[in-house]
A and B are shown apart, each in its own frame.
Chain A
Amino acid sequence: MSVETKQLNCINCPMGCLLTVTLEDGKVTNVTGNTCPRGETYAHQELTDPQRMLTSTVSIEGGELPLLPVVSKTTLPKGKILDCAMALRSVHVKAPVKTGDVIVKDILGLGVDIVASRDM
């Protein structure tokens, strides 16, 4: 059996807790250094299937600005973030838009919607 420890920073909030994770045969068996339960969940997720939020912009017609800020409704696989950002570069919408309106449904088939960050 191989036992190793890894250190990583939790990114859930600005506290940025330094987590020490014990892995036995690649499985997370212990997490220390977290100040809230989200740290432990994060360590498991980060070492098995890392996820990130995506924020970007899409072009908007008839708005006060040429760009509408958008955000992924939940996290996306970290490895797909750049592909999703690229896909958003060719999206165009028309004003008016309300905060939370779905701008791209099920982006790249990943099961996550991209929604508007503000009214415009």
Chain B
Amino acid sequence: MGEQLYDIIIVGGGPAGLSAAYSAWQNGAKEILVLERDREAGGILQQCIHNGFGLHHFKEELTGPGYAQRCYDLVKDKPEIKILVDTMVLNIGQDKTVTAVSPEHGLMKVKGKTIILTMGCRERTRGAIRIPGYRPAGVFTAGAAQRMVNMEGYLPGKKIVILGSGDIGLIMARRMTLEGCKVQAVLEICPFSNGLTRNMVQCLYDYDIPLYLSHTITAIHGKDRVSGITAAKVDDHMKPIPGTEFDIDCDTLLLSVGLIPENELSRGLGIAMHPLTNGPIVDQHRETSIPGIFAAGNVVHVHDLVDFVSEEAEIAGKYAALKAQEQLPEDVADIAVEAIDEVRTCVPQHVRATAEGETIRLFMRVRKPMKKVRLTVKSGDDTLLTKVLPVAKPSEMIAVNVPAAKAKGHHADWTVSVKEEA
């Protein structure tokens, strides 16, 4: 395969990549290449066999594989879209040359007028959270265990402890129970759960699985195989409190302790990264600091709903397609969007305003769980949007639109604030 020129090269064929490809196609891109390292497209959805996906995006409740199938069906028979699976991207050059390797094509170089980064994220591991103790078999990330149980047909163990109450941890607590395993406990270092409420109810309460908030693991026992763990209560600084330790028997420990956007390729390119999202800094079109390179989905910031991933990827796909066709409207101002007060992160981090103005959708996460908060978007001293939300949680991304009529002409830097109402 020679160095072929594409309108758009999309790195990663998960929900973000497939949604970006479809949107780029809808917006006139003619040569679209999707590179996927797994044996099929669909990404992590293929192992998320539970339901609850797609209510926003497809207006229907779907399973993960069902959602992936929908995304795939939209792109599969389009002659303008080529999907290469079993293909690992090794490098992306500043000139938008992509070097990739696959068993079928060997080492290949392709070039894009634009590139969309949709590599998703990966799980934090035991090393990332530094649990002391032996290194026996039986310690898995929850996602690795999910792939084993749902796709490959193995059970990682029979008696399970789960560290971390994020959604994957909760979903796996139920999944292991349905497969006949005993889930001994879920431990969470925060004083609140980091998963969706519906998952707390359906995955833990339904099966009487104990949840220990403000607890962590201080030791893993077992030499060849995990034989148990020691748990302890933590103080306000998340430090274990001496004297509160107790042991739990188990043969398997699953870790659901956070996700990290997978940005080795982005860093190799020298793209400006945000220290809190761990993803590229993007404008409202999801264009990164390098012109013509876009990013969307979990590689930008970790989402809790795939529906929002698709939505964001459609934005990236559209504007990458317009850029490739040299139809991207010229911008007249570069406005910073700053997260303040209880807003921890906000994407996009800046807006390239056009003369006509456009609706700007903001995705944000708050620092702590709160009830009755006021969300305010300001440009300088002018309020662009303000509304009261009944609840705000770190685990649930908040999305709001600043309408075009409001956004237009407001070129002083923006602030996005969430504050508890008195």
- CB within 8 Å of B: which residues of A? 8-14, 16, 18, 35, 52-57, 59, 64-67, 69-71, 78, 81-82, 85-86, 89, 99, 117-119
Contacts and interface: CB of A to CB of B under 8 A. Distances in A.
Nearest to B42: A118
Contacts of B180: 86, 89
A52 B65 CA distance: 19
A14 B198 contact: yes
Nearest to A54: B178
B231 to A, nearest CB: 26
Nearest to B178: A85
Contacts of B305: 14
Given A13-B198, A89-B180, A52 B63 contact: no
Interface in B37-53: 39-40, 46, 49-52
Contacts of A119: 69
B68 A118 contact: yes
B197 interface: yes
A117 B151 contact: no
A85 B153 CA distance: 15
B179 interface: yes
B304 A55 contact: no
Contact of B151 (A35, A67, A82): A67
17 contacts: A11-B197, A14-B52, A14-B196, A14-B304, A16-B198, A35-B390, A52-B206, A55-B63, A56-B49, A57-B49, A66-B153, A67-B151, A69-B150, A86-B180, A117-B63, A117-B65, A118-B65
Closest 7 A-B residue pairs measured CB to CB? A16-B197, A118-B65, A69-B49, A85-B178, A11-B198, A66-B153, A117-B63
B100 interface: no
Of residues B49, B64, B200, which shows the largest number of chain A Cβ atoms within 10 Å of its Cβ? Answer: B49
B164 interface: no
Interface in B197-219: 197-198, 200-202, 206
A57 B52 CA distance: 17
Contact of A55 (B50, B153, B206, B391): B50
Given A16-B196, A71-B66, A85 B396 contact: no
Given A9-B198, A117-B49, A66 B66 contact: no
B66 A67 contact: no
B178 A56 contact: yes
B74 interface: no
B55 interface: yes
A81 B150 CA distance: 18
A88 B363 CA distance: 40
Contact of A9 (B66, B179, B201): B201
Contacts of A16: 196-198, 201
B236 interface: no
Given A9-B198, A14-B304, A53-B51, A81 B40 contact: no
Given A9-B201, A56-B49, A78-B206, A67 B150 contact: yes
Interface string B395-413: 0100000000000000000
Contacts of A65: 151-153
Contacts of B149: 57
Contacts of B304: 14
B179 A85 contact: yes
A11 B202 contact: yes
Given A55-B49, A118-B66, A9 B151 contact: no
A71 B178 CA distance: 13
A67 B153 contact: yes
A18 to B, nearest CB: 8
